[in-house]
Amino acid sequence: MKKIILAALIPLTFSCNNGSGSNDSTSTRPPEPETMNCVVQKSYLHDTSSFTEGLLMYNGSLYESTGIKGHSKLLKINLATGKPEKEVKLDSAYFGEGIAILRDTIYQLTYQSNIAFVYTLKDFKKVKELPFSTESGEGWGMTTDGTYLIADDGTSNIYYFEPSTFKVVKKITVTDAGTLSYNVNELEYIDGYLYANQWQLPYILKIDPASGQVVAKIDLTDVWNTIKHKDSHAEVLNGIAYDAASKKIYVTGKWWPELYEVQFSK
């Protein structure tokens, strides 16, 4: 199960830190990822019973997928209130994971069942169950570039799936300064780049999909510390949503009491 107990963290100023680390690249080693600033613009209520696995904005509405067998759901959320406007509960045999919406169709991964659910956007009616395969045997985060469904499996692998069949079209490997990344989780596609949570760590990775290289890191330690100060039961950062119309980015985490509108910049 994708759960951890976090050690106590010292509350910091409520903003996102720059990443740190020396640049010791050589002529044969890819450069260290650049650092990006992050500023919290606004906070919203978030349901503390939601073990967030997937988060996205589509046509101005917020959608969320939650995990834990017996508690997994697909939700359409009212951003202003944090309350669900529409929801469907998964069978207790399934652990819900990442979601993506492509051409008014919702796709939802499951954790270890190797099944993806396909729903109509309007009424959340499940119309298909499609088998999928990854090297780890698991499904984690998912997004779309408008053509393919892009998903990961908790390793350094990111897969491009053909939407109608969930067959793998290609695979990329995520690297950080020449070293394999790990625990790549919730995904969002923003302006030609993949943004990914790194499970158990307070970072968001900015990934070049052409090379798999992490080109930048955003450190949300301050946000995570603030959340832990507000609610000791809150777990890890997980959930990135992008509203292409407004250019706004939203982040949250598992069992978090709040969701944040944030801005990333160099």
- For 252-264, what is each residue's pLDDT tens digit? 999 999 999 999 9
Residue range 103-114: mean pLDDT, rounded: 97
Question: What pLDDT sits at residue 16?
Answer: 57
Residues 6-30 have pLDDT tens digits of 443 334 445 555 444 445 445 577 8
Helix (H) or strand (E) holding 207: strand 203-207
| 3-state SS assignment for residue 191 | coil
Q: What does the block give as tokens for 70?
A: 């017996």
Q: What is the mean pLDDT of residues 142-168?
A: 97
Higher pLDDT, 17 or 108: 108
Task: Check pLDDT > 90 for residue 103.
Answer: yes
The sheet that has 61-66: what strands, in order across it? 52-58, 61-66, 73-77, 84-89
Residue 42 has pLDDT above 60, yes or no: yes
**Of the candidates 54, 77, 19, which has an alpha carbon nearest to the alpha carbon of residue 240?**
54
> Could you tell me the pLDDT band of residue 51, with boundaries at 50, 70 and 90?
very high
pLDDT of residue 53: 98
AA identity, residue 120: T
Least confident of 22-26, 123-127, 150-154: 22-26
- Model confidence at 71: pLDDT above 70: yes
CATH of domain 42-265: 2.130.10.10
pLDDT at 227 exceeding the cut of 90: yes
DSSP 213: B
CA distance 96 to 27: 43
pLDDT of amino acid 68: 97
Distances (CA, A) of 104 to 58, 100, 212: 9, 10, 28
Q: Give yes or no for residue 209 having a pLDDT over 80.
A: yes
The mean pLDDT of the chain is 91
pTM beyond 0.75, yes or no: yes
What's the rounded Cα separation, in Å, for the pair 197 and 134?
19
Asked whether the predicted pLDDT for residue 88 surpasses 60, the reply is yes
User: Is the pLDDT score of 67 beyond 70?
Assistant: yes
